[in-house]
Amino acid sequence: MKFNPITKNIYTDEGEFVKRMNCPYRMSWNNLEVTNSNRRKCCICDHSIVDTGNISDDDLLAMVKENPDTCLKIDLNQNNVKLLANGILGQK
């Protein structure tokens, strides 16, 4: 997956737009209710948040297509993320 930390847009490795990250609550992962190993729940908005650290592009795209309101956790240091900035690809 590719992530632009400036625009908050997420793309597949092939460049297909997945979604724009937009959480008005800016909750810390550690402050969310644990539901399973890769999901947590926000007590403010009641949404489930998925940790993308071990999710393939295909699974991520399918998940967001099924539910566009899916909330995601992205760590800029996770192995499956390539950072984009101003249209230039930089690999972490």
What tokens appear for 66 in the block?
């099924």
91 assigned to some structural domain: no
Q: What is the β-pairing status of strands 48-51 and 71-73?
A: parallel
Q: How confident is the model at residue 91 (pLDDT cuts 50, 70, 90)?
A: very low
- Predicted pLDDT of residue 86: 64
Residue 67 structural domain: 2-86
> How many domains does the chain fold into?
1
Instruction: Express each pLDDT in 26-58 by its tens digit.
Output: 888 999 999 988 999 999 999 889 999 999 999
For residue 45, being part of any structural domain is answered with yes
Per-residue confidence (pLDDT) for residue 56, from 0 to 100: 95
In sequence order, what DSSP letters do the residues of the chain get, joined into one string? Answer: -EEETTTTEEE-TT--EEEE---SS---GGGSEEEETTEEE-TTT--EEEEGGG--HHHHHHHHHH-TT-EEE--TTSTT-EEEETTEEEE-
